[in-house]
Amino acid sequence: MAQHHNEKVVLFTVIVGLAAWCVPGAGYYLLKEPKRGALVCVTVVLTFLIGLSVGSIGVIDKIGAKPWYVAQVMNSPAVMLIGNHVAQTRDRTSPYKVFGRQAEIGQIYTSISGLLNLLCVVNAVYIAHTRHPPHPGD
C-alpha cells in the first residue's frame, strides 16, 4: 500500500516537471496555483519573445551556439523544433541571418528565459514532492 502511494507521488512529480517544461507555468496549474502559473507563463514567454524580436529566430542556433542553445531549450521542447528549422535553412541561403549586438542580446534574452523556466520547473517539482508526505509506517 505504501509503495503504491510512493509510486503515485513519483509519477505526479514527474508529470508536474514535464508539464512545467513543456508549457511554462503549467506545473503550477497542476499544483492548483493558477496565479503563480500565469505569472511564470507570461514572464518566461514574454522574455523569450523579446529575445526573438530583437535578434530574430536566427538566435536559436543549435550548431553555431551550442551553450546558448542548451539554455534556450529549457524554455520548451518547441525550441528544438525552431532550432531544427533554423539548422535546415542554414545550409541554404538562410533568411534568418543575424549578426552583431542584436544577435547577442537576442541570445541573452532567450537563454535567460530558458534558465528562468528551469528554476520554475525545479521549484514546481520541489513543491509537488513536499506536498505529498509519506504514509506513516514507511
pLDDT along the chain (138 residues), means of 10: 73 94 95 96 96 88 87 93 81 62 88 96 94 58
Residue 77 lies in a domain: yes
If one counts the domains in the chain, the total is 1
C-alpha cell at 8: 503515485
Question: Which pLDDT does position 86 carry in this prediction?
Answer: 81
pLDDT of residue 113: 96
Residue 31 CA to residue 29 CA, distance in Å, equals 5
| CA nearest neighbour of 25 among 13, 12, 42 | 42
* Position 111, amino acid: S
Quick one: CA torsion of 45, 50, 52, 55, rounded to 10 degrees?
A: -160
In terms of Cα–Cα distance, which of 96, 93, 69 is closest to 83? 69
User: What pLDDT, on the 0 to 100 scale, is given for residue 99?
Assistant: 62
Range of the domain at 99: 2-130
Does some domain include residue 138?
no
Residue 135 lies in a domain: no
